[in-house]
Structure 1
Amino acid sequence: MPVLVITGTGTEVGKTVTTAAVAAAALAAGRSVAVLKAAQTGVRPDERGDADEVVRLAGAVTATELARYPDPLAPGTAARRAGLVPVHPHEVAEAAAKLATDHDLVLVEGAGGLLVRFDAAGGTLADAARLLNAPVLVVASAGLGTLNTTELTSRELRSREIGLLGVVIGSWPEAPDLASRCNLADLPEVAGAPLLGALPAGAGALAPADFRTAAPGWLSPRLDGSWDAEAFRVREAP
């Protein structure tokens, strides 16, 4: 798995912090890691972007950002409004493939959900994953509504014949409600793929050293961690 594409079921689901956790766990396992942010939106040139945040939390990661647009919009829309050149899926795939020649693992982080448009032709992160023949890790929210968005994302991946590695809950609440606890069993069923981790709410606010130490415990062995999905489900089940 030299390249792993990471998408969310929407915005603000913990995608960047999950990317950092996957990177930290891989580094702890002795692997070299690069993170590629396909398109950063809503950030000024002098501000830190998502790739920078992954480096801050995870450590010695090679970070690359293909494009940056000031408005907090879909990349294609943000590029058009700013009068800047958009990012195309083939450019994302080419950059990831190049990074893969020098790193054990390349994490390609999208913007928002799977079908957020990069360009006027409707190119998406799904197109980049298809070009790379890379599996996708879906980051989902914990609570009510997540089953629908997770199933829609997984169905789209299957329709495009793109591999779905699994699902990670990007922010597991300290006091989960009934829907969140039931979703531990329902998420892998609707996704047709295993639950591969659950990050505690507020994980991104940890000191980097603490984040790196804890990250493998939030992720399953498939992601270089030690998290046990069944034990977690039994502990948290209603």
Structure 2
Amino acid sequence: MPVLVITGTGTEVGKTVTTAAVAAAAVAAGRSVAVLKAAQTGVGPAERGDADEVVRLAGAVTASELARYPEPLAPGTAARRAGLPPVHPHEVAETAAKLATEHELVLVEGAGGLLVRFDAAGGTLADAAGLLNAPVLVVASAGLGTLNATELTACELRSRGVELLGVVIGSWPAAPDLASRCNVADLPDVTGAPLLGALPAGAGALPPTDFRATAPDWLAPRLDGTWDGEAFRMREAP
């Protein structure tokens, strides 16, 4: 798995912090890691972007960003409004493939959900994953409404012949409600893919040294972690 594409079921589901956790766990396992942000929106030229946040939290990671646009919109829309060139799926794939020649793991983080458009032709992160023949990790929210969004994402990936590696809950609340607790068992059922981790709410606010030391505890062995999915399911079962 030299390249792993990380997408969310929407915005604000914990995608960047999850990317940082996957990077930190891989670094702790002794692997060289690069993170590629396909398109950064809502950030000015001198501001820190998502790739910078991954480096801050995960440590020794190579960060790369293809383009950034100032308005917090879908990349294709933001590029058009800013009068800047859009990002195309083939550029994402080519850059990730080059990084993969120099690193043992490349994490490609999308913007928003799987089908958010990069360009006027309708190119998406799903297209880039297909060009790379890379598996996709889906970051989902914990609570009510997540089953539909996550299943739709899984169905789209399978319709394209793209491997769904698994699902990570991007922010697990300290006091989960009934829907969240039920979703632990239901997410694998509706997606046909394993639950590969759950990050505690507020993980991104931890000091970087604590984040790096703890990140493997939040992720399954498939992601270089020690998280026990079955024990988590049994503990949180309603």
TM norm structure 1:
1.00
Structure-2 residue corresponding to 1:225? 225
- For residues 101-134 of structure 1, the C-alpha deviation after alignment (integer angstroms, 9 at most, x for no partner) is 0000000000000000000000000000000000
Question: Quick one: distance in 2 between partners of 1:199 and 1:180?
Answer: 13
Matched residue count:
238
Structure-1 residue corresponding to 2:126? 126
Question: Quick one: distance in 1 between partners of 2:84 and 2:45?
Answer: 13
Structure-2 residue corresponding to 1:49? 49
- For residues 11-53 of structure 1, the C-alpha deviation after alignment (integer angstroms, 9 at most, x for no partner) is 0000000000000000000000000000000000111000000
Is residue 2:14 matched to residue 1:11?
A: no
Question: Quick one: distance in 2 between partners of 1:54 and 1:27?
Answer: 12
- For residues 157-204 of structure 1, the C-alpha deviation after alignment (integer angstroms, 9 at most, x for no partner) is 000000000000000000000000000000011111000000000000
Write out aligned runs for 1:1-238 (5 A). 1-238=1-238
SS of alignment partner, residue 110 of structure 1: strand
The letter of the residue matching 2:124 is T
SS of alignment partner, residue 45 of structure 1: coil
Question: Quick one: distance in 2 between partners of 1:189 and 1:10?
Answer: 20
SS of alignment partner, residue 174 of structure 2: coil
Q: Please report the RMSD computed on the Cα atoms of aligned residues, expressed in angstroms.
A: 0.2
Mind listing any 5+ residue stretches in structure 2 that lack a counterpart? none
The letter of the residue matching 1:63 is A
- 4+ runs deviating over 3 angstroms: none
Question: Quick one: distance in 2 between partners of 1:122 and 1:233?
Answer: 38
Question: Quick one: distance in 2 between partners of 1:155 and 1:6?
Answer: 16
Q: CA deviation at 1:69?
A: 0.1
Q: CA deviation at 1:100?
A: 0.1
- Give the fraction of aligned pairs with identical amino acids, expressed as a percent: 88
SS of alignment partner, residue 90 of structure 1: helix
